[in-house]
């Protein structure tokens, strides 16, 4: 018995490094830090949705929020960006329906003078039933835009019958607790949007 135990000792010693190596393979890869982690973006707001209901940031607690500021009278940038964003969202939803249910796409107007709830309702419906449209008083919109890092202003071109709104065009993904996660490439492709959502939505 003693000789048998001695013969096993070198064998067990040889197996130990292999066992440690295999154990190391089971370790999860480190989670990548969100690009916007710690950024001072987002926060409380009190606005009105496309159905005329009062909405606050707490209305979306527990869900990821894909937030874009724009306006319904925008001639080109906003509709193009929303087509890409919502196309990417729908692509993500097709591949990961359960994960997509955790995401709420949101359009916040920078033109509350013209973007009433009724106008917003008709507009957001063109991009999909999941898109929430938010408007409010000029003061409430200004406060929300400031918190979300969006600047905007009215522009009246010479000879034009109406005005345009100059504004920052960016889509930001926020986490379930309202924390900023990453910019979503609304100026890219639907594939890129879907990939970004798949990367961060858990």
Nearest to 110 by CA among 84, 131, 136: 136
Going along the chain from its start, the domains and CATH numbers come out as 46-200 (3.40.30.10)
How many residues belong to the chain? 202
The average confidence (pLDDT) of the chain is 88
pLDDT tens readout for residues 87-104: 999 999 999 999 999 999
Beta-strand runs (E) in the chain = 46-49, 54-56, 64-70, 103-109, 132-135, 152-155, 164-167, 171-174, 180-184
| Predicted TM-score (pTM) of this structure | 0.84
Q: Which residues are annotated as a binding site?
A: 74, 78, 167
Report whether 154 contacts 165 (CB < 8 A).
yes
Look at residue 156 in the predicted model and tell me its pLDDT.
87
Nearest to 132 by CA among 163, 112, 172, 103: 103
Q: Which residues are annotated as a binding site for Cu cation?
A: 74, 78, 167
pLDDT tens readout for residues 181-192: 999 999 999 999
Look at residue 15 in the predicted model and tell me its pLDDT.
37
List 55's β-bridge partners, or say none: 47
Residue 33 confidence (pLDDT) above 50: yes
In terms of C-beta density within 10 A (0-12 exposed, 13-18 middle, 19 or more buried), how is residue 156 classed?
A: exposed
């Amino acid at each position: 018995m003693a000789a048998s135990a001695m013969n096993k000792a070198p064998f067990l010693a040889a197996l130990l490094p292999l066992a440690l190596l295999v154990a190391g393979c089971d370790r999860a890869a480190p989670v990548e830090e969100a690009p916007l982690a710690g950024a001072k973006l987002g926060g409380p707001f009190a606005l009105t949705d496309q159905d005329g209901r009062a909405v606050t940031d707490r209305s979306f607690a527990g869900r990821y929020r894909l937030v874009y500021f724009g306006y319904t009278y925008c001639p080109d940038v906003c509709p193009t960006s929303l087509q890409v964003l919502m196309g990417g969202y729908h692509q993500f939803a097709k591949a990961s329906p359960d994960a997509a249910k955790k995401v709420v796409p949101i359009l916040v107007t920078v033109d509350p003078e013209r973007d009433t709830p009724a106008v917003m309702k008709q507009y957001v419906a063109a991009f999909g039933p999941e898109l929430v449209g938010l408007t409010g008083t000029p003061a409430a919109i200004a406060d929300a835009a400031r918190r979300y890092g969006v600047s905007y202003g009215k522009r009246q071109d010479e000879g034009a019958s109406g005005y345009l709104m100059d504004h920052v065009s960016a889509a930001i993904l926020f986490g379930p607790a309202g924390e900023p996660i990453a910019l979503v490439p609304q100026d890219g492709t639907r594939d890129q949007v879907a990939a970004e959502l798949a990367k961060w939505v858990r």
